[in-house]
Amino acid sequence: MKVDETLPLEYSTEENQLKILGFWIFLGAEIALFSTLFAVYFTLENRFGTGPSAQEIFHMPPVMIETILLLTSSFTIGLGIHAMRLGLKKAMMAFFVITLVLGLGFLGVEIYEFVTYVNEGATIQTSAFLSSLMTLLGTHGLHVTFGLFWGTAILLQVRKRGLTPETANKSFIFSLYWHFLDVVWIFIFSFVYLKGLMVL
Amino acid sequence: MMKQLFPKQHVMGFIFSLALSVVALAVITFDMSYKMGMGILLVTALAQASVQLLLFMHIGESEDRRTLYTNIGYALFVGVVTILGTLFTMIWGYQIR
């Protein structure tokens, strides 16, 4: 395997470069997936029937906590990749652990939010609005959940094998995934919660 | 060591993202028209997405950056057409009738 020493580890072989390109193409497909879910939500957001409306169930405090947790985790994984490029394995692992803990916190608040909705009588079967809302939020939450397992597995590999072209490549690709989930959340935060709470 | 682990660019990007989230909150704290609110949300969301893409995801640093920009540009095109096309047929067209 030809290793180019002038490039960061995660780009150092042709295979690595192609894997990163492949993952960007996958993220393109993810953009299409979330676009369809947003399209469904925007179509059905006012069809709440006899159930609660967005104004009635959305509460900003938990949403702000989720936003800050995910935004910070996106920052810390960025620092993790930066540390990885400096060859600082311990610092990189520490930043990844912080990222995953913040992600777990996000998921905890989101689960709390879903439980609150259901206790208020807002289930996925209550109205078209809630079906589309929970499908959109649930798909994002599922991605975060998957990311927690994926990130943990990569951390274990880095601990065992150290920073190699393979583990660095996997870590970098995971960071792309994590940043992407933050981008999706920004759009949920803006066009689901804030738009839903705008007083017209 | 701290300076090495916390590059200025990343810290600024993070602060900028937090600031944009706070600015976006203006749409629910102040009384404004729907158009004005959506305009603010579009600008703050797109700016935040750009920070992630350009700064944290390093989209522009590899030699195949043009391929990446084309790919993401195409995906965004598909996304925008999906969303606006759906709204056009399901919401806007319906209201005209």
Chain A CB within 8 Å of residue B29 CB? no
Q: Does A48 fall in a domain?
A: no
Model's pTM, two decimal places? 0.94
Q: What ipTM was reported for this prediction?
A: 0.92
Interface A-B: count of C-beta contacts within 8 A: 131
Judged by CB atoms closer than 8 Å, whether chains meet at A43 and B55 is answered as no
Chain A CB within 8 Å of residue B38 CB? yes
The token pair at B16 is: 């900028």
| Residues in chain B within 8 Å Cβ distance of A72 | 14
Q: Does A80 fall in a domain?
A: yes
Q: Does A3 fall in a domain?
A: no
| Residues in chain A within 8 Å Cβ distance of B52 | 74, 179-180, 182-183, 186
Chain A CB within 8 Å of residue B15 CB? no
Closest partner CB to B28 (pick from A67, A186, A194): A194
Residue B61: what pLDDT? 85
Total domain count, chain A: 1
Question: Tens-digit pLDDT profile for chain A (200 aa)?
Answer: 677 778 888 888 999 999 999 999 999 999 999 999 999 999 999 999 999 999 999 999 999 999 999 999 999 999 999 999 999 999 999 999 999 999 999 999 999 999 999 999 999 999 999 999 999 999 999 999 999 999 999 999 999 999 999 999 999 999 999 999 999 999 999 999 999 999 76
Helix %, strand %, coil % for chain B, to 5?
Answer: 80, 0, 20
CATH of the domain at A61: 1.20.120.80
Give the residues of chain B that fall short of pLDDT 50.
Answer: none
Residue A92's domain comprises 9-42+57-197
Q: Does A2 fall in a domain?
A: no
Q: Does A49 fall in a domain?
A: no
Burial of A167 (0-12, 13-18, 19+ CB in 10 A): buried
Q: Does A51 fall in a domain?
A: no
Q: Does A4 fall in a domain?
A: no
Chain A CB within 8 Å of residue B2 CB? no
Amino acid at B88: F
The residues near B20 (Cβ < 8 Å, ≥ 6 apart) are B44, B47, B48, B51
CA-nearest of A97, A51, A61, A16 to B64 is A16
- Measured between alpha carbons, how far is A7 from A15 in angstroms, rounded to an integer? 13
